């Protein structure tokens, strides 16, 4: 499904306000209201995005209402469009309406067609002060449970899945929240970014009741948060994992307000949470104009319209829909249909694009003019709240505003440097390293982008946050406070190498296009699964401690039967012991984590040996275990890895791994294969060492080139960062 929503058709309504007819509502004249309900049920019974079980229940209800004999989904045929919909446009805003058969899934799920239920809130002006609407809004979306819950049980379950490594962040409910001031148990500042990201996100999720009402899979939710953290850039100043967590906290403050949480359902609040986490995940830290002028690969793939949003959506949805990460598995949730969830996220995220902002503002003004909120308005409200949360720094106190403003301005400066390096014209003529000019630029951004959107839905913005926004766009007050206090607007002088985050996008594209279809992937999987003897068989052989017992059996089937009986169960070997493929993927994940963090090869080899010993000691050759034991310290694991690299040769191809022979061993060891270290481990260790050696050679080469350039005094010194 495309990441783009349907391009709306613009038209004028009876009030003169420009509204979208993305969802077509038509008048059905001379038709009883009950017919509308039956037609709606009939269309839902044939909606492929709804699970079969739910469709069967809907069909049973439809048969009861029609007073007909039971049917099946195979025999129930949908009525024609002419019977259900009229081509006449509705004149009265309160008349009977139907959903177009071609409407997006979002509107099929959320658009209320009954006249009494089509409005979430009546007598509610979106653009006025929240206190004028708070007294007695006529809300049709009364909650059976409050939007907030006691976090204790949910967070404890999350922390349990992460081996008690998180800390609940008490300050997430505070307006003065500072993500750079989250404290540890000993009151020190939490510096581990991954732990900080997970602690903040899990604390926020645990506070909202949708984790319970929607039956979220806690294990998969934590897996999802861990996975997406690895995709956020570590090189950007502003668009980072910490910014995503900070934006999520700001969004949670919006949904804590009674005016807001009574308008939205639990599914919609969760959608907004996911949308705000999505925007930064593959952000290139450049404007779309720069990407187009650079002829960047992302533009080639997604085009120039919403390139950044589509790239982030691709990576985010790929991770969300993995079997081990998809947490909306309960049939209670509307979004257990992945198609509906995907289209909903696409709509919200794409509407936050700068090219859609005039259209979004116009829709919000129309909602305010109508003095009510209906189902059609929900996507625009969620997009607006997501965009405000993405610019959370504009609502923060002065200290946090200065920090995030300097980060954003540093990214703009780096973008100008990148444009200059490619001989492109300046995108922002006023950008410079002067602090006053920088403050003026960021204040102008907040006033021209954030303030305008906040005014359009003022009723949903907490008053204290709105006051912070007004203070932050007062240039004279900001400059006076900076001069009279210790607050400093610091612009990063260090030129971090620009990383466009496109590698993760291209990798996801490659996986999607070559998913389990390539012969190379199948051959690689076969090589991995056959790289060494089966762990379960080898383990049973070791426990027997004799080859005589094995040879005395009539066949291998008896060997397997004997192994199972020894274990005290009739389960198969694969059910008694985890498969080697599971262990191998654990090794690969460890390799990826160490490679991304830039750890040394000795650290990786030691940790890999330690993990292998924990999973199954027989992955390690017997001679190494005899030398150091099965229960080794970290330093002993490093020494064991050195011994293994000295004694055993590394297989060069998958065929060598599959068909290993004793001739590859440098020492005269016994013929028992337990004397050998697993070939896949040897291959991973050798790959990591080769990668480190190649990086060292590259650094030495650049250093020598710099020394040569200094000796010749040519005046053209090439820095290491530019060479890289």
Residues 562-591 as b or e (16 or more Cβ within 10 Å = b): ebbeebeeeeebeebbeebeebbebbeebb
Separation between Cα atoms, residue 443 and residue 447, nearest integer Å: 6
- What ranges in 304-428 are assigned the alpha helix state H? 307-320, 338-351, 357-370, 378-390, 398-421
Rounded to an integer, the average pLDDT of 263-269 is 90
Instruction: Please name the residue that has the structure tokens 């006053």.
Output: 436
Contacts of 381 by beta carbon, 8 Å cutoff, 6+ apart: 126, 263, 264, 364, 367, 373, 457, 460
CB 108 within 8 A of CB 47: yes
Separation between Cα atoms, residue 402 and residue 404, nearest integer Å: 6
DSSP class of residue 280 equals: T
Give me the residues paired with residue 373 across strands. Answer: 121
pTM over 0.85: no
Q: What is the pLDDT of residues 679-693, one digit of tens each?
A: 888 888 888 888 888
Rounded to an integer, the average pLDDT of 640-651 is 85
* Number of C-beta neighbours around residue 213 at 10 A: 20
Q: What is the dihedral of CA 21, 23, 24, 27, to 10 degrees?
A: -110
Separation between Cα atoms, residue 664 and residue 675, nearest integer Å: 12
Give me the residues paired with residue 18 across strands. Answer: 12
Which residue did the predictor score with more confidence, 172 or 566? 172
CB 488 within 8 A of CB 482: yes
Q: What is the pLDDT of residues 483-529, one digit of tens each?
A: 877 677 777 765 666 777 788 888 888 877 765 444 444 444 444 44
Q: What percent of the chain has pLDDT over 90?
A: 32
CA atoms in the 13 A half-sphere facing the CB of 507: 9
Instruction: Please name the residue that has the structure tokens 């907004």.
Output: 272
Give me the residues paired with residue 139 across strands. Answer: 121
Which residue did the predictor score with more confidence, 476 or 111? 476
CB 5 within 8 A of CB 347: yes
Contacts of 247 by beta carbon, 8 Å cutoff, 6+ apart: 276, 279, 280, 389, 390, 392
Residue 601: its pLDDT value, please? 86
Rounded to an integer, the average pLDDT of 651-663 is 48
Which residue did the predictor score with more confidence, 653 or 476? 476
**Can you tell me whether residue 99 is helix, strand or coil?**
strand
**Can you tell me whether residue 270 is helix, strand or coil?**
helix
* Right CATH for 152-484 from 1.10.10.10, 3.40.50.2300, 1.10.1300.10, 3.40.50.300: 1.10.1300.10
Which residue did the predictor score with more confidence, 661 or 495? 495
Q: Which of 351, 326, 219, 335 is nearest to 267 (CA)?
A: 335
Residue 77: its pLDDT value, please? 35
Q: Which of 237, 250, 235, 153 is nearest to 200 (CA)?
A: 250
Q: What is the pLDDT of residues 691-721, one digit of tens each?
A: 888 877 877 776 776 666 655 544 444 433 3
Residue 659: its pLDDT value, please? 44
Q: Could you tell me how far CA 21 lies from the centroid of its own chain? A: 31
At 151, the pLDDT band (50, 70, 90 cuts) reads very high
Residue 94: its pLDDT value, please? 34
At 653, the pLDDT band (50, 70, 90 cuts) reads low
Query: Which residue ranges make up each domain of the chain?
Result: 152-484, 516-692
Q: Which of 322-331, 374-383, 617-626, 667-676 shows the lowest mean pLDDT across its residues?
A: 667-676
At 460, the pLDDT band (50, 70, 90 cuts) reads very high
Separation between Cα atoms, residue 146 and residue 209, nearest integer Å: 7
CB 304 within 8 A of CB 318: no
Which residue did the predictor score with more confidence, 67 or 361? 361
Q: Which of 56-60, 174-178, 384-388, 572-576 shows the lowest mean pLDDT across its residues?
A: 572-576
Residue 712: its pLDDT value, please? 53
Q: Which of 78, 68, 66 is nearest to 35 (CA)?
A: 66
Dihedral-angle region of residue 629 (phi above 0 means left; psi in -120 to 50 means alpha; beta otherwise): left
CA distances to 21, 43, 417, 624, 721 from 88, in Å: 14, 20, 56, 82, 64
CB 522 within 8 A of CB 528: no
Residue 142: its pLDDT value, please? 65
For CA atoms 103, 105, 109, 111, give the dihedral sign: negative
**Can you tell me whether residue 179 is helix, strand or coil?**
helix
Mean pLDDT of the chain: 75
What are 157's two structure tokens? Answer: 């379950």
Contacts of 171 by beta carbon, 8 Å cutoff, 6+ apart: 177, 178, 181, 182
Q: What is the pLDDT of residues 185-210, one digit of tens each?
A: 888 999 999 999 999 999 999 999 99
CA atoms in the 13 A half-sphere facing the CB of 355: 12
At 137, the pLDDT band (50, 70, 90 cuts) reads low
Q: What percent of the chain has pLDDT over 70?
A: 67
What are 632's two structure tokens? Answer: 């080794």
Above 70 in pLDDT, residue 85? no
Q: What is the pLDDT of residues 69-80, one digit of tens each?
A: 333 333 333 333
Q: What is the pLDDT of residues 153-169, one digit of tens each?
A: 999 999 999 888 899 99
At 308, the pLDDT band (50, 70, 90 cuts) reads very high
Q: What is the pLDDT of residues 339-393, one digit of tens each?
A: 888 989 999 999 999 989 999 999 999 999 998 888 889 999 999 999 999 999 9
Rounded to an integer, the average pLDDT of 107-111 is 48
Q: What is the pLDDT of residues 232-259, one digit of tens each?
A: 998 899 999 999 999 999 999 999 988 7
Residue 542: its pLDDT value, please? 43
Separation between Cα atoms, residue 121 and residue 372, nearest integer Å: 5
Residues in the chain: 724
Contacts of 188 by beta carbon, 8 Å cutoff, 6+ apart: none
Q: What is the pLDDT of residues 580-631, one digit of tens each?
A: 777 888 888 888 888 887 788 888 988 899 888 888 888 888 888 888 887 7
């Amino acid at each position: 499904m495309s990441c783009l929503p349907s391009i709306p058709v613009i038209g004028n309504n009876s009030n003169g306000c420009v509204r979208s007819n993305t969802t077509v509502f038509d008048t059905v004249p001379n038709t009883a209201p009950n017919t509308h309900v039956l037609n709606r049920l009939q269309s839902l019974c044939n909606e492929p995005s709804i699970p079969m079980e739910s469709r069967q229940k809907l069909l049973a209800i439809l048969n009861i209402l029609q007073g007909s004999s039971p049917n099946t989904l195979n025999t129930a045929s949908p009525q024609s469009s002419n019977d259900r919909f009229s081509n006449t446009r509705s004149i009265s805003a309160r008349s009977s309406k139907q959903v177009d058969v071609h409407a997006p899934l979002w509107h099929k799920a959320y658009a209320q067609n009954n006249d009494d239920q089509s409005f979430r809130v009546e007598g509610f002006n979106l653009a006025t002060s929240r206190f004028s609407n708070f007294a007695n809004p006529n809300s049709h979306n009364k909650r059976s449970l409050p939007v907030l819950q006691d976090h204790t049980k949910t967070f404890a379950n999350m922390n349990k899945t992460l081996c008690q490594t998180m800390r609940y962040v008490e300050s997430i409910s505070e307006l003065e929240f500072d993500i750079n001031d989250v404290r540890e148990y000993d009151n020190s500042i939490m510096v581990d970014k991954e732990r900080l990201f997970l602690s903040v996100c899990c604390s926020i999720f645990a506070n909202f009741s949708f984790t319970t009402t929607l039956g979220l899979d806690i294990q998969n939710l934590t897996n999802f948060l861990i996975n997406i953290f690895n995709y956020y850039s570590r090189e950007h100043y502003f668009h980072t994992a910490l910014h995503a967590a900070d934006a999520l906290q700001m969004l949670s403050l919006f949904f804590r307000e009674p005016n807001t949480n009574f308008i939205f359902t639990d599914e919609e609040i969760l959608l907004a949470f996911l949308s705000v986490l999505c925007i930064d995940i593959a952000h290139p830290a450049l404007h779309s104009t720069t990407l187009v002028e650079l002829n960047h690969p992302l533009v080639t793939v997604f085009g120039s319209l919403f390139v950044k949003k589509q790239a982030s959506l691709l990576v985010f949805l790929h991770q969300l829909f993995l079997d081990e990460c998809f947490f909306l598995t309960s049939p209670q949730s509307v979004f257990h249909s992945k198609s509906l969830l995907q289209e909903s996220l696409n709509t919200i995220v794409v509407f936050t694009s700068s090219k859609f902002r005039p259209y979004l503002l116009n829709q919000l003004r129309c909602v305010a003019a109508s003095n009510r909120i209906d189902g059609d308005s929900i996507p625009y409200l969620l997009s607006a709240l997501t965009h405000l949360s993405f610019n959370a720094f504009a609502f923060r106190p002065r200290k946090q505003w200065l920090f995030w403003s300097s980060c954003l301005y540093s990214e703009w400066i780096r973008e100008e440097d990148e444009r200059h390096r490619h001989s492109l014209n300046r995108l922002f003529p006023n950008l410079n390293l002067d602090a006053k000019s920088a403050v003026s630029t960021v204040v102008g951004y907040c006033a021209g982008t954030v303030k305008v959107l906040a005014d359009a839905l003022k009723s949903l913005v907490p008053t204290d946050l709105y006051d912070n926004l007004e203070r932050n766009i007062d240039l004279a007050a900001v400059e006076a406070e900076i001069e009279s206090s210790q607050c400093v607007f610091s612009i990063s002088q260090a030129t971090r190498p620009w990383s466009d985050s496109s590698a993760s996008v291209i990798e996801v594209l490659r996986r999607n296009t070559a998913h389990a279809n390539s012969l190379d992937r199948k051959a690689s999987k076969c090589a991995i699964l056959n790289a060494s003897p089966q762990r379960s068989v080898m383990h049973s052989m070791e426990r027997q401690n004799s080859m005589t017992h094995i040879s005395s059996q009539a066949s291998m089937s008896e060997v397997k039967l004997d192994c199972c009986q020894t274990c005290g169960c009739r389960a198969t070997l694969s059910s008694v012991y985890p498969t080697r493929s599971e262990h191998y993927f654990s090794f690969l994940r460890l390799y990826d984590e160490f490679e991304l963090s830039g750890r040394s090869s000795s650290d990786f080899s030691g940790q890999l040996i330690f993990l292998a010993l924990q999973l199954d000691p027989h992955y390690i050759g017997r001679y190494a275990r005899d030398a150091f034991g099965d229960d080794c310290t970290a330093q002993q694991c490093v020494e064991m890895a050195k011994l293994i690299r000295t004694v055993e040769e590394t297989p060069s191809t998958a065929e060598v791994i599959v068909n290993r022979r004793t001739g590859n061993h440098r020492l005269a060891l016994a013929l028992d294969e337990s004397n050998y270290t697993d070939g896949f481990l040897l291959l991973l260790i050798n790959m990591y060492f080769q990668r480190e050696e190649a990086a060292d050679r590259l650094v030495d080469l650049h250093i020598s080139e710099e020394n040569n350039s200094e000796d010749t005094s040519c005046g053209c010194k090439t820095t290491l960062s530019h060479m890289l």
